[in-house]
Amino acid sequence: MRSKVRLIVAILFLFVPWCIRRRLLIGIFGYEIHPTARIGFSSIAVDKFKIGENSWIGQFNFIYNLDLFDIKRESVVGRSNWITGYPPRGKLAYYFHRPDRKSALLLGHGSAITNSHLFDCSDTIQIGDYSTLAGWGSQFLTHSIDLNENRQDCFPVVIGDYCFVGTDVVILGGSILPSYCVLAAMSLLNKTQTEEYVIYGGVPAKEIGTVSSDMKYFSRKDGFVG
């Protein structure tokens, strides 16, 4: 089903009770939705969609034009998040030089995306297990213009396990935040970092401190910290 048609149908489905909407999303779109998962008043129009046990998506999220949106068990997507991509097809193939690229958002076990964040999934954004994208207004941008080659280009973003990402940050394509790390509020992450149990902060982000491996956040087995 073409993306725009899928979007229109998905919007119409919003006004159907969840018990019926779930059957429609599975039957018509082929989405994989665990019986215990829940989706609020949010528009989801992607090629492949998977949501695991006891996971939920809140209100007013716009999720559109991805190859894959995959949420593992006990994970949370809050409200008013904008998540869009650019699948590898169509006449405007900006990223033809990256044939292995996948437009996807992958959310690990027990992880959380809070509210009002923007995700540019021109390339894959991968978030590990038990990580939290906290606060409001962060931007995750996988694409930009390559000035040397005068063309659009894109690179994936990876956030490790048990990470804490503060409010109002910017994370650019090609960046990696290692597991067991903190990205301080209002920081810019623009490259691969490698050291665990570190606080990264600033513009651009660099090591500004450390965290103890004894902190309960880094060993918890529950999901969203309420």
Residues 61-102 have pLDDT tens digits of 999 999 999 999 999 999 999 999 987 665 456 788 888 899
Q: For the domain that residue 34 is a member of, what is the CATH number?
A: 2.160.10.10
- What is residue 5's predicted lDDT score, i.e. its pLDDT? 82
pLDDT at position 88, please?
Answer: 63
- Our measurement of the distance from residue 186's CA atom to the centroid of its chain's CA atoms, rounded to an integer in Å, reads 18
Give residue 1's pLDDT: 57
225 belongs to a structural domain: no
Question: Is residue 226 in a domain?
Answer: no
Residue 125 domain flag: yes
For position 10, what pLDDT does the model report? 86
Q: Of the candidates 102, 70, 106, 105, which has an alpha carbon nearest to the alpha carbon of residue 88?
A: 102
pLDDT of residue 12: 86
Give the whole-number percent of the chain exceeding pLDDT 70: 96
Please give the tally of structural domains in the chain: 1
Structural domain containing residue 46: 3-90+97-218
- pLDDT tens for 36-60 read 999 999 999 999 999 999 999 999 9
pLDDT at 97: 84
Angle between helices 3-13 and 18-29 (to 10 degrees): 160
Q: Splitting the chain (226 residues) into consecutive groups of 10 residues, what average pLDDT does each group show?
A: 78 89 94 97 96 97 96 97 82 75 96 98 97 98 94 95 98 98 98 97 98 95 81
Please report the pLDDT score of residue 132 as a whole number.
98
The answer to the question of residue 68 being in a domain is: yes
Helix (H, G, I), strand (E, B) or coil at 151: strand
- Contact present, 35 and 17 (Cβ < 8 Å): no
**pTM exceeds 0.85:** yes
pLDDT of residue 67: 94
For residues 162 and 132, what is the distance between their CA atoms, to the nearest angstrom?
Answer: 8
What pLDDT does residue 3 have? 73
φ/ψ (deg, to 5) at 25: -65, -35
The 170-172 sheet, strands edge to edge: 43-45, 62-64, 82-85, 118-121, 139-141, 170-172, 188-189
Task: Say if 223 falls within a structural domain.
Answer: no
